[in-house]
Amino acid sequence: MPQCHSTNSVLAELVRNTELPEGTVVITDHQTAGRGQRGNTWEAEPGMNLTFSVLLKPAFLLAKDQFYLTMIVSLALYEYLSSRLSEVKIKWPNDILTTDKKICGILIENTISGEKIQQSVIGIGLNVNQTTFSLTSATSMRLAADIEFDLGEVLNALLEKLEGVYLKLRSGKNDVIKQDYLNHLYWRGQMRQFRSGEEFFKGVIIYVEENGRLTVLRDNKEVSFDLKEISFVK
């Protein structure tokens, strides 16, 4: 569609009213109210980037294991982008960086029934050909590689990668997925500065728990944090 407020919202509304097959994709040239983690908005110039949502139906996955969806989407993006750009990392929980700048954001919204995940709407915003941003912490594939990319080719390659890691999850290779995610995690194993509430501290990322909480070694003690409990400080 040429324009919509949020592809995640559009796909979620379609699912409520229609029986859609797994793998359905909603894509727009211009997303007017893209949403991100922590209530942030997603900035994207019309026709320059990829803003799309994918429907998955991972009924095989327990609700307590839903962070695996975050891991496989992050890994699909990592696998694609690292084949074309340098210094690609996954910043916990699901931002993708290249040379320390954000190039992609993910928003996953799950519908849970009992202990199982009924459906998952996977929203992805990837900066492809945009060259100016209001935030200095943002970048694009074009800025990073100094070439223009074909949006259709990028989309098809990404969906292929997503299908590959999703099938890996369906076949029960959870341990492999988790280790791959940890291997590409930004700042893992490095002494860095963080903020929790009003407090700044130094620590080392060592692990991500099954439920997605980040484990940091702080003052020789392992401390776990939820999404809103910790932020990265440059």
Residues 51/73, Cβ–Cβ less than 8 Å: no
**Cα→Cα distances 7→34, 35, 125, Å:** 8, 9, 10
What pLDDT digit, counting tens, does each position of 198-225 carry? 999 999 999 999 999 999 999 999 999 9
Per-residue pLDDT at 32: 63
**What's the pLDDT at 157?**
98
Task: Count Cβ atoms below 10 Å from residue 127 Cβ, excluding itself.
Answer: 29
Among 147, 148, 144, residue whose Cα is nearest residue 133: 144
pLDDT score for 62: 96
Q: Is the peptide bond before 93 cis (omega within 30 degrees of 0)?
A: yes
Which residue has tokens 């569609």? 1
- Residue corresponding to tokens 């991500």: 208
Summarize pLDDT for 171-190 with one digit per residue, the tens.
999 999 999 999 999 999 99
Mean pLDDT on 55-76:
97
Look at residue 2 in the predicted model and tell me its pLDDT. Answer: 53
Q: Name the phi and psi angles at 69, rounded to 5.
A: -65, -40
Residue pLDDT, tens place only, 108-136: 999 999 999 999 999 999 999 999 999 99
The domains located in the chain, with CATH, are 3-183 (3.30.930.10), 191-233 (2.30.30)
